[in-house]
Amino acid sequence: MSAAVRPAPPAGTRARRERRAGSLNRSRMMTVTRTELRQLYESKDFWVPMTILGGFFFAVVPFILLLAISSIGNVGAIQQVSDALKLLPQTAQDAVPQDVGPSTQVSYVLAVYLFAPIAVVVPLTISTAVGASSIVGERERGTGEFLAHSPADVREIYLGKLVASLVPGYITTIVGFGIYSLIVNVIVGAKVGGWFFPTASWWLLILWVLPPFMAIALSLVLRLSARVKSTAAAQQAAGLVTFPLIIIAYSQSTGALLGSGAPLIAFVIGLVAWLIAAVLLSTGFRSLTRGRLLGVADER
Amino acid sequence: MLRGPRDGKPLRPSAPPADVAPVTTVTDGLDSTVPTTAPTALTVDLRGVDRWFADVPALKDLDLAVPEGAITVLLGPNGAGKTTAIRMITGALAPDAGTVRTFGLDPIAHGEEVRRRCGVVSAKPALYDRLSGKGNLEYAAELYGLGPHADDRIHAAADRFGIVDALDQKVGGYSTGMKTRLALARSVLHDPELLLYDEPTSGLDPESSHAVLELIREMTSEGRTVVMCTHLLVEAEGLADRIIVLDGGTDLLAGSQEELTRRYWPPNLVHLGAEDPAQLRPVAGWDGVMGIDTEVPNRPGVVQVQLDDPGRIPELVARLVAEGVRVTRVEPHEPTLEDLYFAVRRDHRERQLAAERQGLAPVRPPTPLDPLAVEEAS
């Protein structure tokens, strides 16, 4: 018989049909997460550099800096920095112990206010690195074919990978700040009357502000990972996308720590970030189709 | 009429569930030699399927019927649409036009159920190199929801494919053959009804290929349906119950090897050789000789003779000897799949060229097993 070739259908209709799905199976989603994490655990070439990165920012730099300031005493440079503390918002100045020497005041300010970016930069970098290769990596290794033919829904795969990308960054935050707290409390705490870190604002930052920022970054990175052709391209694009986000997160974190009524500001910033993250996460899975797992030219 | 591969039964689609529109059952009586016994179910039924990748058509009006419990081989060159057809069957890709039914279900609307009943081995084994063999099987077991019996199933599947001893090693250190065995073990872990193998022997040495094909044969003896893609004719030969030749995203023809060779070759062919081949030419005028071909591809000096009855061979040889011909070869010729394959493709190309010359749409040769041809005829 003769077979006239029909024209290609309008773009997007096929993807919508492929996405029709039933309820989310959390067990399968967690299976994807566990397997991703198992693979990361087996990848020394990934976690060794990331551990070094975290160790450098959370332990080495604060330890050297705080120890140096505490050891050198009230020299001129420290006095100048101490004078500059008057530029801090009044609420921040009020939190600094007044009955101690300038070097201790400087150490306190550095410990509480300067290292805010660490809370943001390191976990975001780690999670972004994991997330960027997450979907495109399946395609490159050919394992996307296995997932595409499996009973797992694309939402389960997407969310499983998102959680798997979130976990290493957040674990780094928790462990890193545990070590950081130990260092600053041992070096500075003895001079300010005991353990002082984390402060209330820091708790809010770590538990309330940082997670939605990581979710926002990852929802964008996973969208990229589903669309680009190689892991290298995903890393490049992810860097471009997350860099502004890191800047925003850094400034917001700093503002949350320094601003007047700091805990309330931190709470509001976190709330807004959670809302944005919720919208991005609920729409993010649309970027993943079985066709993209297979690496076919799915979308025209 | 559509026929089953082994028993010659008419084919019918699997019974669809209540919420799925049934696929039209194809019935007619084109082939009067087929006995009218109970129908055999179709595990896979693709009708008029089109699929585009960007602006490139990958499948064009593809029809594909896979009977239950048989080995169906999709045969075709690279880019013929074999892999895309497999992806349509599991619902990994949606068609742009046409209908796809697997187990009588639409694999896009009922993707989870369809994929749960399928086991797939793709051309690349699709294994996680950083996990152990056991880790790969555990991942599959969890995704397919095997639950508490997973460990037993993993061990049984690995044992069957001879990789138990390597289960704790990372897959990155496996040989190609071991990876294929692991992928095969993973494909049967959840006891699927339909196995879809896309060039499963790709990259294997002949011994490993043979072992893999034996394992595939074993699995159909347990009642499973197998669809295997290959471009290696030697693999399909002897393994396939049903062959579907694809080219350019279209099915050129489908049927058992015997049916297809019968369609493309006249019966009762004999290859004759003589010290002086010219002495064989007078055979053309002898009684019972239907035709003679003095130029057999790749067989210099051999003459192909078609007889009206294979029982005439002794008579033919005796007469040649009596006339002083020193005969060096008498060989009844059974066309191979390779002969068939190239004849089909040549035929298709010639039809296409003829259609293009006349300004007509591309053509597809109707066959006794072509459902659309059957529909038209009925």
Average pLDDT of the residues in B328-356: 80
Selected residue with higher pLDDT from B318 and A75 = B318
- For residue A187, pLDDT over 50 is answered with yes
Q: Are B2 and B26 in contact (CB under 8 A)?
A: yes
Query: Whole-angstrom Cα distance, residue B208 to residue B230?
Result: 16
**pLDDT (tens digit per residue) in B213-232:** 888 888 888 889 999 998 87
On whether any CB of chain B is under 8 Å from the CB of A145, the answer is yes
What pLDDT is attached to residue B28? 31
CB contacts < 8 Å between A and B, how many? 137
- Contact state of B94 with A17 under an 8 Å Cβ cutoff: yes
On whether any CB of chain B is under 8 Å from the CB of A291, the answer is yes
Gap from A40 CA to chain B (nearest CA, Å): 9
What pLDDT is attached to residue A4? 47
Average pLDDT of the residues in A51-59: 91
Which of B130, B144, B364 has the CB atom closest to A43's CB atom?
Answer: B130
Selected residue with higher pLDDT from A252 and B276 = B276
Using a CB-CB cut-off of 8 Å, the residues of chain B touching A150 are: 115, 140, 143-144
Which of A6, A143, A298 has the CB atom closest to B127's CB atom?
Answer: A143
Average pLDDT of the residues in A4-21: 56
Query: Hey, what are B75's tokens?
Result: 């045969």
Q: What percent of chain A lies above the pLDDT cut of 70? A: 85
- Contact state of B126 with A142 under an 8 Å Cβ cutoff: yes
- For residue B119, pLDDT over 90 is answered with yes
**pLDDT (tens digit per residue) in A106-117:** 888 888 877 766
- For residue B10, pLDDT over 70 is answered with no
Residue in chain B nearest A40 by alpha carbon? B130
Using a CB-CB cut-off of 8 Å, the residues of chain A touching B57 are: 5, 8
ipTM: 0.84
Q: Locate tokens 């002082």: which residue?
A: A196
Query: Whole-angstrom Cα distance, residue A105 to residue A97?
Result: 7
- pLDDT-derived band at A72, boundaries 50, 70, 90: confident
Average pLDDT of the residues in A198-215: 85
Gap from A140 CA to chain B (nearest CA, Å): 10
Gap from B26 CA to chain A (nearest CA, Å): 16
Gap from B322 CA to chain A (nearest CA, Å): 51
Residue in chain B nearest A291 by alpha carbon? B93
Q: What percent of chain A lies above the pLDDT cut of 90? A: 36
Query: Whole-angstrom Cα distance, residue B182 to residue B178?
Result: 6
Gap from B182 CA to chain A (nearest CA, Å): 13
- Contact state of A35 with B131 under an 8 Å Cβ cutoff: yes
- pLDDT-derived band at A16, boundaries 50, 70, 90: low
What pLDDT is attached to residue A78? 76
- For residue A156, pLDDT over 80 is answered with yes
Using a CB-CB cut-off of 8 Å, the residues of chain B touching A9 are: 52, 96-97
On whether any CB of chain B is under 8 Å from the CB of A10, the answer is no
- Contact state of A20 with B54 under an 8 Å Cβ cutoff: no
Q: Are A250 and A117 in contact (CB under 8 A)?
A: yes
Gap from A159 CA to chain B (nearest CA, Å): 14
**To probe the interface with B, which of A42, A150, A153, A157 has the most B CB atoms within 10 Å?**
A150
What pLDDT is attached to residue B8? 37
Torsion sign, CA atoms A240, A243, A245, A248 = negative
What pLDDT is attached to residue A22? 64
Contacts (Cβ under 8 Å, ≥6 apart) of A230: A136, A140
**pLDDT (tens digit per residue) in B142-196:** 999 998 779 999 999 999 888 999 999 999 999 998 999 999 999 999 999 999 9
- For residue B51, pLDDT over 60 is answered with yes
- For residue B362, pLDDT over 70 is answered with no
- Which regions of chain B does DSSP assign to beta strands (E)? 11-13, 40-53, 56-67, 71-75, 97-102, 118-121, 194-198, 225-230, 242-247, 250-255, 269-274, 289-293, 302-307, 327-333
Query: Whole-angstrom Cα distance, residue A86 to residue A98?
Result: 12
On whether any CB of chain B is under 8 Å from the CB of A141, the answer is yes
What pLDDT is attached to residue B2? 33
Selected residue with higher pLDDT from A120 and B216 = B216
- For residue A259, pLDDT over 50 is answered with yes
Using a CB-CB cut-off of 8 Å, the residues of chain A touching B130 are: 39, 42-43
Between the CA of residue A285 and those of A152, A157, A187, A222, what are the distances in Å?
A: 13, 9, 46, 9
- For residue A100, pLDDT over 70 is answered with yes
- For residue A46, pLDDT over 70 is answered with yes
- For residue B53, pLDDT over 60 is answered with yes
Q: Which amino acid is at B265?
A: W
Using a CB-CB cut-off of 8 Å, the residues of chain A touching B196 are: 149
On whether any CB of chain B is under 8 Å from the CB of A144, the answer is yes
Which of B53, B118, B366 has the CB atom closest to A1's CB atom?
Answer: B366
Using a CB-CB cut-off of 8 Å, the residues of chain A touching B128 are: 35, 39, 141, 143
Gap from A169 CA to chain B (nearest CA, Å): 21
Query: Whole-angstrom Cα distance, residue B241 to residue B334?
Result: 17
**To probe the interface with A, which of B62, B64, B112 has the most A CB atoms within 10 Å?**
B112
- For residue A92, pLDDT over 80 is answered with no
Highest mean pLDDT: which of A76-90, A265-279, B77-91? B77-91
Selected residue with higher pLDDT from A13 and B375 = A13
Q: What percent of chain B lies above the pLDDT cut of 90? A: 49
- Contact state of B60 with A5 under an 8 Å Cβ cutoff: yes
Average pLDDT of the residues in A199-215: 85
Selected residue with higher pLDDT from A22 and A126 = A126
Average pLDDT of the residues in A36-42: 94
Average pLDDT of the residues in A201-220: 87
- Contact state of A3 with B115 under an 8 Å Cβ cutoff: no
What pLDDT is attached to residue A262? 66
Average pLDDT of the residues in B96-109: 96
Which of B96, B250, B364 has the CB atom closest to A14's CB atom?
Answer: B96
Using a CB-CB cut-off of 8 Å, the residues of chain B touching A6 are: 50, 96-97
Torsion sign, CA atoms A125, A131, A132, A133 = positive
- Contact state of B115 with A150 under an 8 Å Cβ cutoff: yes
Average pLDDT of the residues in B16-37: 34
- For residue B94, pLDDT over 90 is answered with yes
Query: Whole-angstrom Cα distance, residue B190 to residue B61?
Result: 33
- Contact state of A20 with B109 under an 8 Å Cβ cutoff: yes
Using a CB-CB cut-off of 8 Å, the residues of chain A touching B250 are: 3
What pLDDT is attached to residue A256? 61
Gap from A121 CA to chain B (nearest CA, Å): 28
Lowest mean pLDDT of A17-21, A256-260, B206-210, name the range.
A17-21
Which of A17, A151, A153 has the CB atom closest to B116's CB atom?
Answer: A151
What pLDDT is attached to residue A239? 83
| Average pLDDT value for chain A | 83
- pLDDT-derived band at A198, boundaries 50, 70, 90: confident
On whether any CB of chain B is under 8 Å from the CB of A240, the answer is no
Q: Which of B170, B184, B159, B160 is nearest to B134 (CA)?
A: B170
- Bridge partners (DSSP) listed for residue B306: B269, B291
Q: Which of B239, B208, B126 is nearest to A294 (CA)?
A: B126
Q: Locate tokens 């002949």: which residue?
A: B206
- Contact state of B96 with A291 under an 8 Å Cβ cutoff: no
| Average pLDDT value for chain B | 81
Lowest mean pLDDT of B178-182, B285-289, B313-317, B343-347, name the range.
B343-347
Lowest mean pLDDT of B30-44, B284-298, B335-349, name the range.
B30-44
Q: Are A231 and A224 in contact (CB under 8 A)?
A: no
Using a CB-CB cut-off of 8 Å, the residues of chain A touching B112 are: 21-22, 151, 153
On whether any CB of chain B is under 8 Å from the CB of A140, the answer is no
- Contact state of A153 with B52 under an 8 Å Cβ cutoff: no
**pLDDT (tens digit per residue) in B252-276:** 888 888 787 777 777 788 999 999 9
Which of A43, A290, A297 has the CB atom closest to B53's CB atom?
Answer: A297
